[in-house]
Amino acid sequence: MLDTPLVLAPEIARRRTFAIISHPDAGKTTLTEKFLLYGGAIQMAGQVRAKGEARRTRSDFMQMEKDRGISVSASAMSFDFATGEDSYRFNLVDTPGHSDFSEDTYRTLTAVDAAVMVIDGAKGVESQTQKLFEVCRLRDLPILTFCNKMDRESRDTFEIIDEIQENLAIDVTPASWPIGRGRDFIGCYDILRDELQLMDRADRNTVASAVKIKGLDDPKLAELVPADLLETFLEEIEMARELMPPLNAQALLEGTMTPIWFGSAINSFGVQELMDGIATYGPEPQPQRADPRAISPDEKKVAGFVFKVQANMDPKHRDRVAFVRLASGHFKRGMKLTHVRSKKPMAISNPVLFLASDRELAEEAWAGDIIGIPNHGQLRIGDTLTEGEALRVAGIPSFAPELLQTCRAGDPMKAKHLEKALMQFAEEGAAKVFKPTFGSGFIVGVVGALQFEVLASRIEMEYGLPVRFEASQFTSARWVQGQKPAVDAFVAANKQHIATDNDGDTVFLTRLQWDIDRVGRDYPDVSLTGTKEMM
Ligand code: GDP
């Protein structure tokens, strides 16, 4: 049967592709576990962590990652979620949780249609949340907020909402309202559905029981909520309704309003309501910006783009997995797609779907889904795959690194090996590698200092190659752009500052902002840029 847009539509409409943004310790892992629990992907909460750890030791995660409890690599998880009559397919893309902001994080967010922001009810908006939020804002991503750990002493509800509004400049609308605080927290009033949800503190895996209430005057409220808590709650909710706007689905989709749910992930409380919210208000897969035209999810032909590459997921095979977000069409295993950059056909014979329980072969997928394509390095970040049309997905940037160091092999005879290792990490997007026109060796650029250590230990582990990172004479890198004659003249006159990056593009290295300003004055036809689009 032909897949006309009519056949695609329901598959698109039921997909939700999102990421969780949060500050470490706010409860992202716990919430993910509960998502999977309700998604039926696992039997018991706690398994994700155990499974995650087993997978980590099996794959390329290094000791350091374990020691520091950071996750350097992101992954994707798919699971189904049923609510009422409807069944949704959720694709959760994990954002790296460490505090060194990296391009990886940014690119992860190019692959999702929405983000769930988790904050700790006692701590409010923390630094990492703020940073990640700014990235979401660049793309006007819809944000749904979960205020976690309400079972513990938390801040005043109005204060939390105010802080989000002030710090993040976004309208907040309560989707639920907590009743009681800290030890007295008994549950939430679901504002969207006029239900009372009471938390079961005795059993952390029980889903809260919901009591249908006919508005706030329903006598059932007084039966179920202790009088003192009820009084405060009724006062608060009246004030909230006066002060805060009701949920506006359009404003949510445009990223100017976030609904907030209150809950306790560890007690499985409020999670299902959040998931319902994602299903009901979270956007379905959105059109993808591309050149020369945007890609609509309901197009018949398959298109997708690589937003992440992970090497050595299994050290036994030197494979790489390219994470592809499908932008359109109905993908089937075995399909031949065109790799637009090289114009070569690629048979996608063993794509992987990241079902929460394990990696599984993907027989079929639709817009919004994330599939993994094992390959030997042909697929790079930013690459587009289509059924033939020369479309290139736009908006996946590469940032100039903020830190540069020279990298040398412990054994000078191993320079070639080092080059290979560095190129691999460059392709993964873990670092930029510059080869200076003059002199030997490589200059490696990263965004956060921790990444040098990560690289050194990965090169040693995966290539058996001890390396040293040393201070470089340069501190900044800028891409050189302009018409060929102007660029050639610039390069010829500044050879000692020129290098090529891992894609072969020309780069100007310097240690002085003054130098960069000078180029602006002396070479008006050349521009030095801090970002380039990966194409
Ligand atoms: P992540 O760093 O954001 O992934 O946070 P985790 O999910 O690992 O949670 C951090 C800590 O907070 C862990 O010790 C969790 O058990 C705890 N935690 C998570 N959710 C809750 C909650 O709802 N209430 C309480 N009291 N603790 C929680």
Q: What is the pLDDT of residues 498-514, one digit of tens each?
A: 999 988 899 999 988 88
Please give the Cα distance from 333 to 349 (Å, whole number).
Answer: 6
The predicted pLDDT at position 59 comes to 31
> Does 266 sit in the ligand 1 pocket, CB within 6 Å?
yes
Rounded to 10 degrees, the C-alpha dihedral 243/248/254/255 comes to 40
The predicted pLDDT at position 356 comes to 61
Average pLDDT of span 206-232: 86
Residue 180 phi, psi (nearest 5):
80, 160
Torsion sign (Cα): 468, 469, 471, 472: positive
> Does 117 sit in the ligand 1 pocket, CB within 6 Å?
no
Amino acid at 421: A
Give the closest residue (by CA) to ligand 1 atom 14.
25
Report the residue among 22, 23, 30, 269 best suited for mutation to probe ligand 1: largest number of ligand atoms under 8 A from its CB: 30
Q: Which residue has the higher pLDDT, 211 or 146?
A: 146
With bands split at pLDDT 50, 70 and 90, how would you rate the model's confidence at 292?
very high
- Is it the case that residue 50 has pLDDT exceeding 60? no
**Domains assigned to the chain:** 12-281 (3.40.50.300), 290-393 (3.40.50.300), 397-533 (3.30.70.3280)
Report the residue among 266, 268, 269, 271 best suited for mutation to probe ligand 1: largest number of ligand atoms under 8 A from its CB: 266
The predicted pLDDT at position 260 comes to 98
The predicted pLDDT at position 333 comes to 92
Give the closest residue (by CA) to ligand 1 atom 16.
266
- Of 57-61, 95-99, 115-119, 417-421, give the lowest mean pLDDT range: 57-61
With bands split at pLDDT 50, 70 and 90, how would you rate the model's confidence at 104?
confident
Give the chain's count of helices (H) and strands (E). Answer: 15, 33
DSSP assignment of 446-464 equals: ESSTHHHHHHHHHHHHHH-
- Is it the case that residue 141 has pLDDT exceeding 90? yes
Residue with tokens 């479309």: 391
Q: Are 392 and 417 in contact (CB under 8 A)?
A: no
**Residue 159, SS3?**
helix
337 by Cβ neighbours in 10 Å (0-12 / 13-18 / 19+) ranks as buried
Please give the Cα distance from 469 to 446 (Å, whole number).
Answer: 12
pTM, rounded to two decimals: 0.83
Report the residue among 21, 23, 25, 200 best suited for mutation to probe ligand 1: largest number of ligand atoms under 8 A from its CB: 25
Residue 57, token pair as written in the block = 């030791």
Residues making up the binding site: 22-29, 94-98, 148-151
With bands split at pLDDT 50, 70 and 90, how would you rate the model's confidence at 358?
low
> Does 151 sit in the ligand 1 pocket, CB within 6 Å?
yes
First to last CA, the chain: 34
The predicted pLDDT at position 397 comes to 73
Gap from CA of 79 to ligand 1 centroid (Å): 22
Average pLDDT of span 254-268: 96
- Of 329-338, 406-415, 517-526, give the lowest mean pLDDT range: 406-415
Gap from CA of 379 to ligand 1 centroid (Å): 37
- Which has the closest alpha carbon to 80: 15, 169, 124? 15
Give the closest residue (by CA) to ligand 1 atom 26.
149
Residue 364 phi, psi (nearest 5):
-155, 160
Mean pLDDT of the chain: 86
Neighbouring C-beta atoms of residue 530, cutoff 10 Å: 15
